[in-house]
Chains A and B, each alone.
Chain A
């Protein structure tokens, strides 16, 4: 490694620690991160944390929350606390996979469109704008109801319908980055367009997409919950939304069956929007230095 490289690397690290410090200054972002970490631990160690098997039916049906059953039991006598813990796995993975897919598609299309410009860009950005206006939830609902409600389909469809916002953010970044001096330098040294795109444009412009992805993870969790609630969730898996769906017929005498899973959805979406806004705050060039 040459000295020059090392300097630029340490400068990069410096920037990273600065960004982390900046992020930690925002209390909402810290809270969001904390909630998310708790959920991730819950998802990974679900079998350890959950006191009962989530699917074991007992005769203690619709018991209200007690020390034995922290969140009570459902209509088949299953322990709701354990079911919620295991539900974290489904809801979180939907969030991560769907938003991740959306980010990947958005970054590719957006950076390509912004970097190459011209007629390609005109057409792509028109398409992006149009897709942005289409009500995504309905499209997802129709596709899932026709193609089947396998969890893979659900994640795929959410990802495939929510990428335009990422594409728009990435496109704007690419448009401004390609005018920067270091891109001109890279071009004049004969670097190929593909290398410039993947080596410079995307790494330097991806931050807004990352921030938006956090928000979209929350959105994906909401979408999955809504699908499950109208009975279009994966029939073999129990997400938080599914728990609400299952609890609904009994809600008047066992309100905990719907209230508790709902609180978890709210907390997850809240965490993601805190994180997303925190990231946006961190990466906003206006906030550099003061405050």
Chain B
């Protein structure tokens, strides 16, 4: 008896460590991607017309002190390869540089805004996942041609919509006409709510931008789940269960669903990753104080260091989203061996 329990605990530790190894392996595999993104940033700076120092500073006429500081930090007088090395070093020390236009560090600027973006995109992705999957399951269950056609055409239409345009149309409908929701911002600036009132206020402001993003992502989940359900219906174990005499309802609820929804988890991660960059336009329309809004400002004020910093952070967010999805998927699907 003692020996048995010992064996069990040993197996468990071994299982954990193999999962740990899997996670480490997946994490290592995103490193080349991060390196590539940094390299792209670097080459953009050097391929751009004009003086790199001027570009990084974002100033028309940077003062000699600024140029000197930049040359020092980025080694602008040294060979290109050394510069690339220095650029990597800066980034991996977590230093995205200094925004001369805002007069503060890029890290700080981004950090301030990241929360709003994450709140918006994660909420939207979760809502889209739930609604899209539910519709697909509902339609897949009924197998009525009309219903199926209606939803698949709707999916095509919403998928074809530019996010910013849908945002404007929602503002026209729900804010201008029905005056149901606010058109911009994250808080009511005239009031200073505390506690639950504050949360309610944020949710109230979140409604339209979140709806915009969700409406565009629902078709993705709908289509993936829908075709996944169709595919599972053709799988041979469904025939087995029918032959056994397990009720249709149970076959669908227990076996079709689990087999069909697993692949959508992967899509969830990807969509979440891209939503972070896709949200930018929606943030701009709703003046949502996230990274997208910051990015637009950076474009117009020609604050390239800030722009590149945002790009880097977003790319890393996408990597992380994909990484987390991979790990969750490996945990949920017994077929993945790590």
Contact = CB atoms under 8 A, between A and B. Distances in A.
Whether chain B is bound by chain A comes out as yes
Interface of A: 28, 126-127, 130-131, 133-135, 137-139, 141-143, 145-147, 218, 222, 225-226, 229-232, 241, 244, 248, 251-252, 255, 258-259, 262, 265-267, 269-270, 273-274
Contacts of B319: 133
Contacts of A145: 299, 302, 307
B311 A273 contact: no
Contacts, number: 116
Contacts of B310: 138
Contacts of A143: 44
A248 B169 CA distance: 11
B299 A138 contact: no
A134 B284 contact: no
B48 interface: yes
B33 A133 contact: yes
A252 B304 CA distance: 34
11 contacts: A126-B32, A134-B37, A134-B315, A146-B304, A241-B162, A248-B168, A262-B165, A265-B160, A265-B161, A270-B157, A273-B156
A161 to B, nearest CB: 10
Interface of B: 32-33, 36-37, 40, 44, 48-49, 55, 156-157, 159-165, 168-169, 171-172, 176, 273-274, 276-278, 280-281, 284, 295-296, 299-300, 302, 304, 307-308, 310-311, 314-315, 318-319, 322
Contact of A244 (B33, B168, B273, B314): B168
Contacts of A241: 162
Contacts of B308: 142
Contact of B299 (A229, A232, A270): A232
A142 B311 contact: yes
Contacts of A126: 32
Contacts of A127: 36
Contacts of B168: 244, 248, 251, 258, 262
The 8 residue pairs across chains A and B that have the minimum distance between CB atoms: A269-B160, A135-B277, A262-B165, A270-B160, A145-B299, A146-B48, A130-B33, A266-B160
A260 to B, nearest CB: 11
B161 A230 contact: no
A31 to B, nearest CB: 10
Given A138-B311, A142-B307, A146-B44, A251 B162 contact: no
B156 A226 contact: no
B162 A225 contact: yes
Contacts of A134: 33, 36-37, 40, 315, 318
B278 A230 contact: no
Given A130-B33, A251-B172, A259-B172, A230 B281 contact: yes
Contact of B314 (A131, A138, A229): A138
Contacts of A146: 44, 48, 55, 304
Contacts of A252: 172, 176
B80 to A, nearest CB: 18
A274 B156 CA distance: 8
Contacts of A244: 162, 164-165, 168
A135 to B, nearest CB: 4
B311 A139 contact: yes
